[in-house]
A and B are shown apart, each in its own frame.
Chain A
Amino acid sequence: MSETIEQLADREYEYGFVTDIEMERIPKGLNADIVRLISSKNDEPEWLLAWRLKALERFQKMLAEGHHPTWAKVSYPEIDYQDMYYYAAPKPKKELESLDEVDPELLATYDKLGIPLLEQKRLAGVAVDAVFDSVSVATTYKDELEKQGILFGSFSDAVKDHPELIQKYLGSVVPYSDNFFAALNSAVFSDGSFAYVPKGVRCPMELSTYFRINAQETGQFERTLIVAEEGAYVSYLEGCTAPMRDENQLHAAVVELVALDDAQIKYSTVQNWYPGDKNGKGGIYNFVTKRGACRGKRSKISWTQVETGSAITWKYPSCILQGDDSVGEFYSVALTNNMQQADTGTKMIHIGKNTKSTIISKGISAGRGQQSYRGLVRMGPKAHGSRNYSQCDSLLLGDKCGAHTFPYLEVKNASSTVEHEATTSKIGEDQLFYCRQRGISEEDAISMIVNGFCKEVLRELPMEFAVEAQKLLGVSLEGSVG
């Protein structure tokens, strides 16, 4: 059994190529001038620069006072925040009249990643915003969406075209002072995606952002903001990859979601950043703050994530259940192998009456991978009649890996209920032997068992992504879990 598991753990990282393209980079380091420079690249209004500078001040204070978060069960050498680039963009960044003007090298890159951007080849039913290092390089189906009043495109364009929306919502869910990495991101974020679905509109296609880190020694700091007005519905997906490099690269993103009365946001992630090599050299540090606010009554936010990449993942997509009867969901599959580390989970903050949350977390560890589930469920004093159900399952492949569960509960009223279940299992020799006795190869058996284990989460993903996720999980079987 161990042999096949090692093969699975050793499989090549498919997206490790580097795009050879001329880049514009600003000098290394982090200070007020750098922040001003980034802001001026995007022609930002005064208020936004001021906000960034406040965030920078906060970050520098936290850094000086040693507020770098240490509570997560991950370990890595200290990061030198002066020794990296905070902005890199393909040259020249001019106003594009149409997608046909996008650098062919970039188009080819996205083709290779399976995300064709040109009209003829586009994915049907999925609008894509392509973010390359620090900037958004293209957005598909923008005009079609606009006809229904849906705004979708790069964050920097949104700052120019819809400043009132950005000013209203930016930092309203994740303030710049929220945490160390949120402060860093707020100071230096360069681009990202913005989606806005107006009252009563059901977004007719999946919106998606594809993040690609390409440049060396460069961090990616993007910002995503999604707003669903009363009764609106949107399903949004993000995918991420990076070249194989020996150095560690930092990805510190912030995602904010706002759902008003009766609105629904479904947010799915397939995270496949470069995980580093077998011995733990290189790989992305994925330190991300994701939070959704169910502001309106009966609103609903669902997070679904499949996390297979990154050297270190530190990420807790959360829901603030403010509106009465609002619903928060978190479905997660995290896979760590070789030397990968993941500390991931969620926070469900119940504020309104009769709010409901569900947490399903599936952790798979192989090789020497280490993984922790960390989740907080808080039932506020006014969250009468609220409920939470949490289920955290861990599956171990081999005996050199580890799984840990840290559930935190705070219940401040007598009428809410909280249920928590946790299991840890090994892929048993018994299960493998049973499959093999029926003529199924060991490799297929492992895939089958892993997929079965993740089923409850995979079925939450939109179809196209479910397939990719299954493949990512080392799977070569068709429709096993459906």
Chain B
Amino acid sequence: MTPWMSSGLIYASGLALTAGSVTLIYITTRTFNFAVASMATIGFYVSYTGVILYGGLPYKYYPFVIIIGSIVGLICYYGLNRHLLRRRAAEITLMMSTLGYDLVLLSMIQMYTDFLTKTYKLFPRRVTMNIYDFELFGEKAAAFILPFIAIVFLMGLHMFLTKTKFGVAMRATIENPVLAGASGINSDRVYLVAWVIGGGMAALGGAFIAMAQTGTPVMGMFIIPLMFAGAILGGLGSLYGGILGGFVIGMTEYAGVFYLAQRFGPWVLGYRMGIPLMLMAITLLIFPRGLAGIPLVKLFGLLAGKKRGVNA
């Protein structure tokens, strides 16, 4: 693998999960979830705590990462989102309320790091997680394992959404809440499950991202523009679009930085976020509905047409 690729794969898998989380919660509850930032950070600290206190590989602790993330999502739904949805709050209100929740979570993360520092004499404010990884084929093992876990997770999610009655009911509610309600589907439960899955996804994504970048209490806050960018690039309407969007954003950031720094010098590193955000802006200018809105059939037709020298 080229040098940027292994870190890029790790990071992009994490962004795919977090962007998927943002999308899932948005398409179910109309809530653009700012708390995804701290949910991701929490995921990282759960895996860090496991490794530090109990040893072993970080992967071992991912089930706990998902569980804790789900609980954080559940609390956000029951404590906040549900009451606002019942009152048919505007989207802006829903969004701002999660910003408040994010700040609460952030303070709790800060307190937790202080607790780790004082009690265990650790340095939890700048953590390099990949030193706990092992090597596989001369690469970081995470570059293989994390995309694999992400794919398994997403396939499970896909099975749930297409093969189970409740999963289909969730899709029905996403598409047409009124008709779903009239069919007897309890939207309350659908929203709860969305927050639980979304919380787990965001936390897992955060644990992934910390395998490629330095883990800090504010890492989520720094990456959240890219999580949102991934969701927006995906068109904000389709879960799979959001996941793909997050992945594309992550890969472009790493690839872009690498090649541009080679070409123009290391000062490019300071502007690394600009690269995927520009990609998002350009994509949206051409395809206003994001990746999900790209008419693949037409696109292929266009390419085929070009080959034949036809002006499509």
Same complex: no
B contacts, CB < 8 Å to A: none
A contacts, CB < 8 Å to B: none
